[in-house]
Amino acid sequence: MEVIIRPDAERAATLAARLIAARLRAKPDLVLGLATGRTMERVYARLVEMHRANGLDFARCRTFNLDEYIGLSGDDEHSFRHTMNRLLFDHVNIERANTHVPDGAAADLKVEAARYEALIGVAGGIDLQLLGLGEAGHIGFNEPLSALMSRTRDKALTPTTRRQNAAMFGGDPERVPRRALTMGVGTILDARELLLLVTGPAKAAILAKSVEGPITAMVSASALQLHPNCKVIVDQDAARDLQGREYYDWIFQNEPEWAEYRD
């Protein structure tokens, strides 16, 4: 795992977007795993800018989103499918058929979960998975006690998560769906590269547990410590409780791989 600390949320998101763009240029048919949440809005805005200004090409890119609320169809403005269309897919040259989000309105959720796993397999697996961090320590919607080997399935959301996401539902946690269909922790760990983006002071404590704490199903993001190719990009506010800050800063300032990203 590598932790990179940037001065603010804007620069953290820009670095994440630049890494995604670099992978896409190196492999135009990249299989890209995507995430939702407010943290990602800046990343998608940067990718749209790079598409418009520099012709960043999504023509052959395939995408798989982590999760979707159960009971919401893609037409619902609160669905992650709708959000992804609005923030990214409507503004870049990606084939809509190459963008995948679990179907939260599927009649049979087990069948839908198996279909989603199979689709990822047919695509050859995920090359790069973008991740955010929930205040409950989740990645995707893998709430506490999610098995570290879990696969795509439906999961009940914690009160913390429903409160955290209430802003998108008019501020009322009761309007946030109770369940979601999510890639499992095991599904996420199968991706060849992981990119976790975390910003803001509200995430500082859970970020420190995820990155420097023990690996535990109570904090599903702690499982990322097992992955051989995981980058964690954070801003100063989120990094506040990290003990290894000095070392992480040294890595970014000195390791050649980061030279082109310093500013």
Q: What does the binding site for ligand GLP look like in residue numbers (CB under 6 A)? A: 35-39, 66-67, 132-134, 140-141, 161, 165
By CB atoms closer than 10 A (0-12, 13-18, 19+), residue 163 is: middle
Nearer to ligand GLP, 27 or 163 (CB): 163
Phi, psi angle pair for 259, to nearest 5°? -55, -45
CB of 133 to ligand GLP, least distance (A): 6
Any idea what the Cα angle at residue 112 is, between residues 40 and 191, rounded to 5°? 45
| Shortest distance (Å) from residue 167 CB to ligand GLP | 8
Alpha carbon distances (Å) from 102 to 66, 154, 187: 8, 10, 13
What DSSP state is assigned to residue 146? Answer: -
Please give the biggest Cα pair distance in the chain: 52
Least distance to ligand GLP, CB of residue 209, Å: 15
Strand partners, 193: 128
Between 10 and 255, whose beta carbon lies closer to ligand GLP?
10
Q: Which two tokens stand for residue 216?
A: 């535990």
Rounded Cα distance between 36 and 157, Å, is 15
* Least distance from ligand GLP to the Cβ atom of residue 49, Å: 20
Given the complex with ligand GLP, which of 62 and 102 has the nearer CB atom?
Answer: 102
Alpha helices in 137-244 (DSSP H): 159-164, 185-189, 204-212, 236-239
Beta carbon nearer to ligand GLP, 31 or 221? 221
When the beta carbons of 43 and 242 are compared against ligand GLP, the nearer one is: 43
Tell me the closest approach of the beta carbon of residue 162 to ligand GLP, in angstroms: 9
The CB-of-221 to ligand GLP minimum distance in angstroms stands at 9
When the beta carbons of 69 and 248 are compared against ligand GLP, the nearer one is: 69
